[in-house]
Amino acid sequence: MPPSSSKNSRYHQQWQPHLPDECWESIFKHLTNPHDLESLSLVSRHFLSLSNRLLTHLTVYPHTLPLLPALLRRFTTLTTIKLAPYIKADIDALLSQIASFDLPSLHSLDVSHQDTFPSHGLRQFSQKFPTLKSLNCSHTDPDLVLIAECFPNLEEIDLTDADLQVKALTSGLKKLRKVDLSGIYNFRDSSIFTLCLNCVSLEALVLDDTGSLSEIGIANAIRQRPQLRSLAVRGDNVTLELIDSLVSLKCLTCLDLSHSTISDDALCALADGVLPLRELSLGDCSGYQYSGISCLLRMCNNLQHLDLQDTEFLNDECVIELSLLLANLNVVKLGGNKNLTDLSLFAIMHNCPLITEIRMERTSVGKQKVEEDCLAVNSHVKFLYLACNSCLNDESVKMIASVCPNLEMMDLSCCKRVSKSAVEVLWRCCKIQRMDLACLGHQLSQFQFQVNFEVPTLFMLNLSRLSISNDELSLISKSCYKLKELKLDYCDKITTSGVKQVVKNCKQLRMISLYYCKKVSSDIVSWMVLARPSLRKIIAPRSSRHIVDQRDHFLRHGCFVEWI
């Protein structure tokens, strides 16, 4: 190298800007797909160290067990560990093993859905992590006396469908901030009253399907905790007495009354309380009409999340009028309302400028044509769930795609009149990341799924039960080459050669499901594991002795293979 070039090189190295670790971490946290951290960790040891710090949640599956010590040594900033349901391992020994590692940030543990409650393991676990803040022991038989003894600083506990010693909960865990008591049938009015009285920091309470509690008992209890911010009382008859108690909760921002019976008078009385609600769930509620919900929404100026699923009286006219009251809405759920059509969907997009997620599964979207000059582009919409809309057709889907340029996720599964417009979504929505197209176009004659343009943002695609050919699949793999998750269940035309083409073209593929792909040989599994090192999970087309015998071998390559 000439002297001048060498000098310039040293100059650039000297003045190359150095970003502090905090800046790099901030950049990494903005990655939309957490799997991208794996690629970054391969760039340098510095990036490896930084990416290790950003993994905060770990789920321990059966296939994770051999790798667990290495994972716990690598990811020392974990905040949450979850044991997979019915993991079929010695849970006591597993918790003791976790307790032997240095995890200073760990504050949340999930041992739900286990066959036995790990009393011994939790004792050892508590010696290392006595300041645990959150514990999920739902669907178990928890020893609350032991929990209170081991984790006196516990702030959150999930006891859904658990078999409780009620007294231990109401007297031993006084620092609780959030409690989920869904499905607890031996919880009495006196118990919920004592819980609210003793837990002076309580902010969130979930009472779902608790048949032994009365509305009066719930009303008296929540009056003891006026600082409640979140309350779920599902499946009850919402009386005016309960409403009077709700109105006293001047900090209440989240209210869930799903599956309940509630009158218009009750909703209007709730509106009179002028609560600072940001989230409201009235899904599958009965007993009220449009006058009641409109009265309430007029007073909820800052509502961001609204659930009105399975509401019998709701129609396009109602939704159009209600949408005018919801300028700050981010998420709306309207699934199961058969009287809602395209008019409701486009009214929400037009009148709710901040909307990001719309769920309208099992409605009549596609039934009512909307003129193009009545449409307005909404750049905030990112998630659209339109599954099981029997009226939805290609024309409607194209119109939807034209007004949602920043769409990231679209669910068109079981929309049996939709076909080629799914490709139109991939073409128009340049930020699309996930698409669910399972059972697409089953009422139509064969159509060609031709994706002959690049879709570099797409990382999850569900093509289950589609009659696509190897040629179509090959074209998809070339166009959507950054796919990380691909589901091909029940794709009868796909053969071994078609799957090989996908594995060759999609160099970042992490999961592929081939369940009941009759023309795909199970022998391909070995080839996939070796040919594509990025693969972490394969659902094999069928079970075979070959797969069973090599399962541990696949795990050593970092890939878990299963069959259903």
| DSSP for 46-94, written as a single string | HHHHHHHHH--EEEE-GGGGGGHHHHHHH-TT--EEEEPTT--S-HHHH
Query: What secondary structure letter does DSSP report for 281?
Result: E
DSSP of 462-493: E-TT----HHHHHHHHHHTTT--EEE-TT-TT
In three-state form (DSSP H/G/I as H, E/B as E, the rest C), the secondary structure along 491-535 is: CCCCCHHHHHHHHHHCCCCCEEECCCCCCCCCCHHHHHHHHCCCC
Predicted confidence (pLDDT) per residue in 119-162, tens digit: 999 999 999 999 999 999 999 999 998 999 999 999 999 999 88
| Burial of 102 from C-beta contacts in 10 A (0-12 / 13-18 / 19+) | exposed
CATH class of 448-564: alpha beta
Percent of the chain with pLDDT over 90: 71
Count Cβ atoms below 10 Å from residue 350 Cβ, excluding itself. 18
Confidence of residue 32 (pLDDT cuts 50, 70, 90): low
Q: Which two tokens stand for residue 318?
A: 């109602």
pLDDT score recorded for residue 10: 45
pLDDT score recorded for residue 48: 64
pTM of the model: 0.89
Q: Is the pLDDT of residue 322 over 70?
A: yes
pLDDT score recorded for residue 563: 82
Give CATH 3.80.10.10 domain extents, the chain.
30-176, 448-564
Q: Which two tokens stand for residue 322?
A: 């209600």
How many angstroms separate the CA atoms of 32 and 494, rounded? Answer: 31
Q: Which of 202-211, 237-246, 288-297, 326-335 has the lowest mean pLDDT?
A: 202-211
Query: What secondary structure letter does DSSP report for 210?
Result: -
How many angstroms separate the CA atoms of 265 and 243, rounded? Answer: 10
pLDDT score recorded for residue 213: 86
How many angstroms separate the CA atoms of 264 and 286, rounded? Answer: 10
Q: Is the pLDDT of residue 444 over 70?
A: no
Confidence of residue 33 (pLDDT cuts 50, 70, 90): low
In three-state form (DSSP H/G/I as H, E/B as E, the rest C), the secondary structure along 22-36 is: HHHHHHHHCCCCCCH
pLDDT score recorded for residue 279: 98
- What average pLDDT does the segment 247-255 reach? 97
Asked if 344 and 355 touch (Cβ cutoff 8 Å), the reply is no
Count Cβ atoms below 10 Å from residue 193 Cβ, excluding itself. 18
pLDDT score recorded for residue 371: 84
pLDDT score recorded for residue 28: 67
Count Cβ atoms below 10 Å from residue 21 Cβ, excluding itself. 11
pLDDT score recorded for residue 259: 94
47 or 191, greater pLDDT: 191
How many angstroms separate the CA atoms of 463 and 440, rounded? Answer: 8
Predicted confidence (pLDDT) per residue in 497-546, tens digit: 999 999 999 999 999 999 999 999 988 999 999 999 999 999 999 877 67
How many angstroms separate the CA atoms of 432 and 147, rounded? Answer: 45
Q: Is the pLDDT of residue 278 over 90?
A: yes
How many angstroms separate the CA atoms of 307 and 22, rounded? Answer: 38
Which residues make Cβ contacts (< 8 Å) with residue 371, sequence separation at least 6? none
Asked if 351 and 326 touch (Cβ cutoff 8 Å), the reply is yes
Asked if 440 and 419 touch (Cβ cutoff 8 Å), the reply is yes
Confidence of residue 312 (pLDDT cuts 50, 70, 90): very high
pLDDT score recorded for residue 66: 87
How many angstroms separate the CA atoms of 353 and 360, rounded? Answer: 18
Predicted confidence (pLDDT) per residue in 41-94, tens digit: 666 676 666 666 667 899 999 888 988 999 999 889 899 999 999 888 899 999
Phi-psi region of 510 (alpha: psi -120 to 50; beta: other; left: phi over 0): alpha
What does each C-alpha distance from 564 to 145, 370, 486, 495, 532 come to in angstroms?
40, 44, 16, 19, 22
Tokens 């309302």, residue?
337
Which residues make Cβ contacts (< 8 Å) with residue 468, sequence separation at least 6? 449, 476, 491, 493, 494
The mean of the pLDDT values for the chain is: 89
pLDDT score recorded for residue 107: 96
How many angstroms separate the CA atoms of 193 and 218, rounded? Answer: 8
pLDDT score recorded for residue 113: 94
Predicted confidence (pLDDT) per residue in 459-500, tens digit: 999 999 999 999 999 999 999 999 999 999 999 999 999 999
Q: Is the pLDDT of residue 8 over 50?
A: no
How far is it between the farthest Cα atoms of the chain?
88
Q: Where are the alpha helices (DSSP H) in 199-333?
A: 215-222, 240-247, 264-272, 290-298, 316-323
Query: What secondary structure letter does DSSP report for 237?
Result: B
Confidence of residue 447 (pLDDT cuts 50, 70, 90): low
* Second CATH level (architecture) for the domain 30-176: Alpha-Beta Horseshoe (3.80)
Q: Helix, strand or coil for residue 394?
A: helix
Please state whether beta strands 204-208 and 357-359 pair in parallel, antiparallel, or not at all (unpaired). unpaired
Confidence of residue 100 (pLDDT cuts 50, 70, 90): very high
Q: Which of 2-11, 237-246, 419-428, 520-529 has the lowest mean pLDDT?
A: 2-11
